[in-house]
Amino acid sequence: MPASTRRKQAHSAPLPVPRHFVDDYLPALLAQASHLISSEFHKVARQHGFSISEWRVMATLAGGDPISIGRLAQVAVMKQPTVTRMLDRMASKGHVERLPHDSDRRITLVRITDAGERTVKHLMELAREHEHRVLEPFGLQSAEVLKNTLRRMIELHEDAGAAVEDEED
């Protein structure tokens, strides 16, 4: 057996047998992983002058087409009234702008401005570096499989999530 394989085996402790329901329940595991990994990066975002909510909004809008405030709230995992209030502050700083929808006056679109893109560009680079450090132990192929699986889960369940939010409000 090659020395590198022996070292990997020596450092790979067996995973603990789940003792509690949440130790083996996918939503709980996803929430815990998200919280831990996000918390690491949130420190960096705050050091660069962004609140966590502002970072989520800017990261959601960066490099993309205008989206509705409702969709922005869904992707940024925030309540729509909170996003609406925050957009007022962010628009006054010149980071985002609101646009009318082409065919539906009830929908307001929002997009990041060029100034907003410049403001968040370095932070997005740092976020990619953080992501790389988080995923590196699993290998590139495993990381892509995980991301694709999560994208598919989101796709399959996003309508159900929006319905539940409507019921809770």
Per-residue pLDDT band for 165 (boundaries 50, 70, 90) equals low
Sign of the CA dihedral 125, 130, 136, 140? negative
pTM of the predicted protein model? 0.78
Residue 50 has pLDDT above 90, yes or no: yes
Rounded Cα distance between 26 and 20, Å, is: 13
Of 162, 142, 161, nearest to 27 (Cα)?
161
Per-residue DSSP letter, 21: G
Residue indicated by tokens 């995973």: 15
Calculate the CA 22 to chain-centre distance. Answer: 22
Residue 163 has pLDDT above 60, yes or no: no
Give me the half-sphere count of Cα atoms (radius 13 Å) on the Cβ side of residue 123.
25
Per-residue pLDDT band for 124 (boundaries 50, 70, 90) equals very high
CB 158 within 8 A of CB 74: yes
Rounded Cα distance between 68 and 109, Å, is: 4
